[in-house]
Structure formats: C-alpha cells, structure tokens
Amino acid sequence: MPVSLMNVAEVAGVSIATASRILAGVDYPVTDKTRQMVLKAAKELGYRPNLIARSLRLEQTFTIGIIVENILSPFIPPIIRGIQERLKQNNYFSITLDSNWDPAIETEAIEHLDMRQIDGIIFVESYLRSSEEVSALIDRPHLFVHRLFNSLGDNSIVPDDRYGARIAVKHLLELGHQRIAFINGPENWDAATNRLAGYQEELAAWGIALDPALVKQGDWQVQSGYAATQQLLAVAERPTAVFAANDLMALGVTYATQEAGLKVPEDIAVVGYDDRDFAGFVRPALTTVQMPCEKMGHVAAESLLSLIRGEIKAVEPTLVRGKLVVRQSCGANSGEWKFEAERASLTRRHKQTKPLPG
C-alpha cells in the first residue's frame, strides 16, 4: 500500500538508484529527461520517502532530542519554540521528553533518545548531578540551557541575570529613586546570586550605599513578595521602589503596597523579572526584565548544530541578555494604559480565519 522508491523506479522505468539520486536531492549528473520521468512518477504515486529507512542507512536522523524539566513550566514552551525555529531552518527536527525534575526519568529519557539515534540533545535544565554524569550516559553532542542553576560551565547557555538586574535597577535610578529595595529568590539558586550581584553592582556604580535593610529574600512565589514588602514598608526610611527578582513576587509587592494604602507606582515603583505572560495584563501592568527564552533557544539550536556538524568541539559558555520592558508599575509611563493582547492568540492573526469545521 505505501509507495516505496521501488514503485517509483518501476513506474518511471529506471533503477531505484537513479530514482534515489533524484529524489534524495543529491547533486548527481542525470539526464533532464530521466529526472522529469522520476519526478512525475513520484508525484503521481504520491511518494513520500521513508525517513526511518533513510535514517538507518545514513546513520543520521536529522533529529535532536530536547529534555525539558517540565513542559508546564512557563519558560519551557518559548525555549522549545526558539529551538524549533532554528532547527527548522536547517531541516532538523526535535523530539521533546519531559524529565519532570526527576533525575531517574531524565536518565531514561537520555537512554531512549540514544536508542532513537538522535543526533544530539539539548537539556533545558538538567537535574543530573553534573555534566560529567550526563556525558557518561550519552556519547552524542549535547548542551545545556540553564535558567535557574545557571553556573556558566562549558556547553551551557544561560541568561545574563546580572545584566538583567542591572538594567532594572538602572531604570529605577534614572527615574530618581535612591532607596531601592530588592526582593530576591532563595540564596542557593544561581539566578538569585546573579541578580543580587547585578543589584549591588548597579547601586555601586551610582555611588549608592547598599542598605541591608532593603534586601529581602522570598521563595519566588507571590505570597513571599507580599510578606517581604510588609517588612519593607515598616523600615524607618521606607523604600520608594522595589525590584523583585521575579514577576510573581512583584505581584506580591503590589498587593502589599496597595493593602497598606499606598499606590503603585506613585508611592512605590515596582519592577519585576521574567516578563511572564500576565505582566502585560495585570494592573498596574508590570515593568520587568525579559527572560530571553526564545533567544536562548536560538543560540542552543545553532550551537548544537555546529557541534553536530563538527564545526566546533565545544560550545563556549554563552550569556544571553533580555531587555527591560517598561510598562506601568515603574511609573515611567503615565496616562491611559491599553492592556496588551495575549502573545500567542489566534485572535491576533487577522489573516487567519477558521472556516466551518467539517
């Protein structure tokens, strides 16, 4: 029933070798007449090459594996998309497996991908103990995209959190704020360490002494930003701005501020981190630093392809920067605010209209 190369060759009246040479798109001298016949036969028969057979023969699948920490994490889909965009440009494909933050599942995923003969792997946060442990499990090109535990090792792509924190703080300083509080994530996370460093550096660059009373630690969740802010508002000389190490805690800052009868951004300016999807449609809309997910995906895919092609031996540690997205909560925008439309929304695509389903 399925059409094979042999069928095409028969119909075209040539050998399967000739048919293959023409249809596989390899540059090989063929008469124009033969080419036409083969192409015609293939088209008529609706020939679709069997990629499984091709892969077995070529010992190359043009497919990479992506192991993600958890597909429900909001950062994962844009990273996947970034990866796939670049893969597509290079006629590569991906198969995504979910480790669910579990090293045992991650190990199984690696083994499965290896059995599938994938050409390489991108880990979007690995929960194995070290890159050596990973190398022991898989003898194919691979690299890491680290968002939270982003110590800058070899073969790793990480966000430039230090830079991100600096531009956030810089923005507040430029708006005239002098007492800028910082609510960080748990200290053993690299992302928290780096964001704190950026905060400190930027203050120092402006000659502003760091007031330890203005630095609090949360757990990345709304509630912790809320609680930290209640403490900050009780500080003798109250901060006029709060930089939260993620958008969730920034929401908490807003709620605590409002509950205290103060206004955001008039009394307290707020800047978050991540640029989560809701940042554009909460009120006040959140000024925040982008987590450059798609960009990291681009870099990861390009680097892995270079690795696969043998153009490079290892990927140099790469820092990827996100921009500051200025909305309402920092006070830089005044006047009426139009809420943003959802990023990935069909209603934004005016070209497309879904016809009646059949």
Q: Which residues bind DNA (CB under 7 A)?
A: 2, 4-6, 13-18, 20-21, 23-24, 26, 28-31, 33-34, 49-50, 53-54, 56-59
Contact status: 346 vs its own copies (CB under 8 A): yes
**Among DNA, its own copies, none, residue 24 binds (CB under 5-8 Å by kind):** DNA
48 CB contacts (<8 Å, ≥6 apart)? 2, 3
- Separation CA 183–CA 245 (nearest Å): 6
Residue 204 has a CB neighbour count (10 Å cut-off) of 11
**Cβ nearer to DNA, comparing 58 with 312:** 58
β-pair partners for 157: 145, 318
**Cβ nearer to its own copies, comparing 237 with 259:** 259
**Cβ nearer to DNA, comparing 40 with 323:** 40
Least separation in angstroms between CB 115 and DNA: 8
Supply φ then ψ for residue 259, to 5 degrees.
-65, -30
Least separation in angstroms between CB 114 and its own copies: 6
**Cβ nearer to DNA, comparing 33 with 350:** 33
Which residues between 246 and 305 bind its own copies (CB under 8 A)?
248, 251-252, 255, 277-278, 281-283
Q: Is-contact 292 78, C-beta < 8 A?
A: no
**Among its own copies, DNA, none, residue 248 binds (CB under 5-8 Å by kind):** its own copies
Q: In what order do the strands lie in the sheet with 93-98?
A: 93-98, 63-68, 120-124, 142-145, 156-159, 318-320
Which residues between 110 and 139 bind its own copies (CB under 8 A)?
111-112, 114-117, 127, 129-133, 139
Sole window of 234-242, 299-307, 316-324, 344-352 interacting with its own copies (rule: CB under 8 A): 344-352
Question: What's the gap between Cα 121 and its chain centre?
Answer: 15
Cα within 13 Å of Cα(158), Cβ side: 22
